[in-house]
Each structure stands twice: as C-alpha cells, then as structure tokens.
Amino acid sequence: MYTNYNIAFEDFNLSESQFDHPSRLHGIMHTYRVMLHVLRLGRITGNISEARNAFFAAYIHDMARKHDGYCNKHGTDAANNKLLLYKDLFIANGATENDLLITGKATSMHSVAYELPKSDRDWLTVAILKDADALDRIRLGEGDLNKSYLRLTETESCIDYSRNLYFKTVDEKPADFIFMLSLSGKL
C-alpha cells in the first residue's frame, strides 16, 4: 500500500531510549500513529515527496520533549538535536540535503502556533505533519480535535480512521513499525 514511498520501513523502529522524556502520551505509539497518518495523507493527497519529508519529521518530532505539558520549543530542539542523530538514516532512505532542511523546518514548526503562509514552498510538508499530529489528538479525549485547525481538506476524512487506529493500539506495547503498517491495512 505504501511502496511508492521507497522507504525501508523496518529501519524506523523506535525505543524509549530515543526519547528525552519517554512517555505514553508523546512516546512510541503516538509517534508510530503520526507516522502512519503522514503516509496516509500523502497517499490520499498524492503528495508523496512532501509526505516522505513529513514522515522523517514525524519520526523525530517529539523525541526532544522534556515533559508532557504545553511546549512550543520541543520541535526546534528535535530539529537541532535529533535530526543530526538520524540524518544518515534519512539519507539512506532517499533524503537529500534539501529534504533534510525541509524535514528540520517541519519538525520545528509542528510545535508552534505560527502557521506558514500557503505561498511558502514547504507549507505542504509542514501541513501534512501538523495535521497528522492533530489526528492523534483522540488520545487526549474525544472532543480534543478541533476540525477548524486542520490545514488540508482531506484530513477531515481521516478522523474516523485515526479514532479506530488509536483504539486498536492504545493498549498495545510498542511493537515495531512494520507491525503498525500491517495493522493500518486492517482498519
């Protein structure tokens, strides 16, 4: 289903040691769900290259969190610190130097309220990541996702899927990303 991304998904497994603040709220399972939502949004919108960069950003987006509370700097911290750690992984999976810059920008932007103008060349990558992250807000409660904050019209069609994915994985112990991919095809 996601072969057109040319990503070796088995290389994107996560462990708690990768996170500065291991957490059930912003940890492995949340990150896996955001990664899946990114892939799905890319497939639905047809924006594969932007979704590839958003996928790389999703992998590191919450790794630099120091706590589970409101924080608008953990994205920048992840871009500055975690991107360097995983640069070779991303390059091995097809990222160019320019893709790494875009990945860093999306990672930084995901945790701030500021929105890029649609005229920005990286708007779509950032929008895919932010919307994918927003889709997993179901973990905070049924009413926590405000549809008016979604950037892509296609994202609204993914809300039921995101709810099903969350409830299917909420009690799962972190497995691996291939398991998550196989599970996503059954929803």
What integer best gives the mean pLDDT of the chain?
94
The least confident of 62-66, 89-93, 145-149, 182-186 is 182-186
Cα 13 to chain centroid, rounded: 14
CA distance 178 to 175: 8
Check pLDDT > 90 for residue 97: yes
Check pLDDT > 80 for residue 187: no
Check pLDDT > 90 for residue 173: no
Domains and CATH numbers, the chain: 21-184 (1.10.3210)
Residues 6 or more apart whose Cβ sits within 8 Å of residue 129: 34, 38, 54, 57, 58, 61, 106, 107, 109, 110
Specify the pLDDT at position 170: 85
Global confidence as pTM: 0.96
Write out pLDDT tens, residues 101-121: 999 999 999 999 999 999 999
